[in-house]
A and B are shown apart, each in its own frame.
Chain A
Amino acid sequence: MPWDVLIFYLIAAVCVLSAAGVVVARNPVHSAIFLVLCFVNIAATFVMMGAEFLAVVQVIVYTGAILVLVLFVLMLVNPDDLPEFHAARPVQRYVGLLLGAILLLEVGAAIVTRSVSGEQGTATPDNIAAVGGNTQALGRVLYSDYLLAFEVVSLVLLVGVVGAIVLALPERLGERPSVARRGSISLSHPRGVDAALPEGRPAGETLIPTRHSTSPTRASGAVATGNDREVSAGPTPTGVVRDLVMTRDADAFGHMGDKR
């Protein structure tokens, strides 16, 4: 067996196993780690196909940006929300497996029975080397044949940025973000920051967080649902505006992994 085939099988095995890990892992952070592994290995297969630029872009964009954002959100979302309180219904699981198996068989049959045919392009290794390498060759294609698509994609990115900012704005437009929110990252936002006292509220009033949108299906088995919802108000000293509200069970913020 030639070396490249052997290396391919190694990479493919890691890819598939880590992809399976994404689906199977109970802890979302572990899923994300598996996904990082999978993406880096996919980048390695890109290198095997001579697409070095794409491989590096894959690592920078997918693992360096998107998955870091996913991890970021994982840590900002209330840790008690993260574990799945009930697994998928068995029906879903079996049907999913069945559908997957059927689809795999179909696609496998398609791959085996057909072969890739079509007009051979001009991007032979020699031609690519002539223009200076994969990056230069890809650049030529992107900025000539696909110029319009390139511009449209840049527009999509712009719209994406605007959309993300709009979605991340405070609930009501025009609401001035509290001092605590503007300057710092809140650790576990729903309880830590939202209950901050708006300025000018009469002192001495008991603090109650405004939003108690308890979802009906929320499992009662979750740890620390009761006490941390309340604010350990205590008497607020007169004239002091509190920025951050401490919860009674302070450690509820720290743990993420093993609490379900």
Chain B
Amino acid sequence: MGELGVDHFLFLSAALFIIGMMGVLTRRNLLIIFMCVELMTNAVNLSLVAFGWGLNSLDGQAFAVFIVAVAAAEAAVGLAIIMALSRRQRTVDVDALRSLRD
């Protein structure tokens, strides 16, 4: 496959993103869905850094740093919501959490 290029990393990023997406689509446990979302953000990070690497620019890494920071905030709030949900509804199954629908 010759030299190590941006494409390698982009393929890896795409694969991870899609695996994460399939996890979100098929799993029913909120915590696993949360983890899959984290996987997807990481895949995006990877592609940003790869683009920056290909273009000799640090902007991609700067973006990735911001994404990491926002993901930390997201994790704090998201996990708190999951905790509150499991305390009230006694389940973390997204199919059971339908009190807004019926």
Q: Footprint of B on A, CB under 8 Å? A: 1-2, 4-5, 8, 12, 15-16, 19-20, 22-23, 28, 31-32, 35, 38-39, 42, 45-46, 48-51, 53-54, 57-58, 61-62, 65-67, 69-70, 73-74, 76-78, 81-82, 84-88, 92-93, 95-97, 99-100, 103-104, 107-108, 111-112, 115-116, 118-124, 137-138, 141-142, 145-146, 149-150, 153-154, 156-157, 159-161, 163-165, 167-168, 171, 189-190, 194, 211, 213-218
Q: A160-B77, A215-B91 are in contact. Are A111 and B11 (CB under 8 A)?
A: yes
Cβ–Cβ contact B18 & A100, under 8 A: yes
A116 touching B90 in the complex, CB below 8 Å, given contacts A16-B15, A74-B31: no
Min CB gap A172→B, angstroms: 12
Min C-beta distance of A236 to chain B, whole Å: 25
Complex: how many Å from CA A22 to CA B38? 11
CB distance from A223 to the nearest CB of B (A): 15
| Interface positions of B from 39 to 56, Cβ below 8 Å from A | 39, 42, 45-46, 49-56
Given contacts A141-B62, A157-B69, whether A81 and B16 have CB atoms under 8 Å apart is: no
Residues of A within 8 A of B8 (CB): 5, 8, 12
The smallest beta-carbon distance between A108 and chain B, in angstroms, is 7
Number of interface residues of B (CB under 8 A): 79
Contact at A42–B46, with CB atoms within 8 Å?
yes
Contact B83 A38 (CB under 8 A): no
Shortest beta-carbon distance, A239 to chain B, in Å?
30
Q: Are A93 and B26 in contact (CB under 8 A)?
A: yes
Q: B27 and A84: CB pair below 8 A?
A: yes
A-B contact count (CB 8 A): 277
Interchain CB contact under 8 A, B90 and A84: no
Contact A23 B22 (CB under 8 A): yes
Can you show 5 pairs from A to B with CB atoms below 8 A apart?
Answer: A5-B1, A62-B38, A120-B56, A164-B76, A171-B87
Q: State which of A51, A76, A97, A123 has its C-beta within 8 Å of the C-beta of B22.
A: A97
Pairs of residues from A and B, 4 with the lowest C-beta to C-beta distance, nearest first: A160-B73, A121-B57, A96-B25, A167-B80
Whether A116 pairs with B51 at a CB distance below 8 angstroms is yes
Residues of B within 8 A of A16 (CB): 12, 15-16, 19
Q: Which residues of B contact A211 (CB under 8 A)?
A: 88
Shortest beta-carbon distance, B37 to chain A, in Å? 11
CB atoms of B95 and A121 under 8 A apart:
no
Contacts of A160 in B (CB 8 A): 72-74, 76-77
Q: A81-B86, A156-B73 are in contact. Are A54 and B29 (CB under 8 A)?
A: no
- Complex Cα distance, B23 from A31, in Å, reads 11
Q: Which residue of B lies closest to A7 (CB)?
A: B4
Q: How long is the Cα–Cα vector from A76 to B83 in the complex, in angstroms?
A: 8
**Given A62-B38, A116-B54, A77–B83 Cβ distance below 8 Å?**
yes
- Contact A118:B55 (CB < 8 A) given known A23-B23, A215-B89: yes
Q: Output the least CB separation between B92 and chain A (Å).
A: 5
Neighbouring B residues of A145 by C-beta, 8 Å: 59, 62
How many Å lie between the Cα of A84 and that of B65 in the bound state? Answer: 34
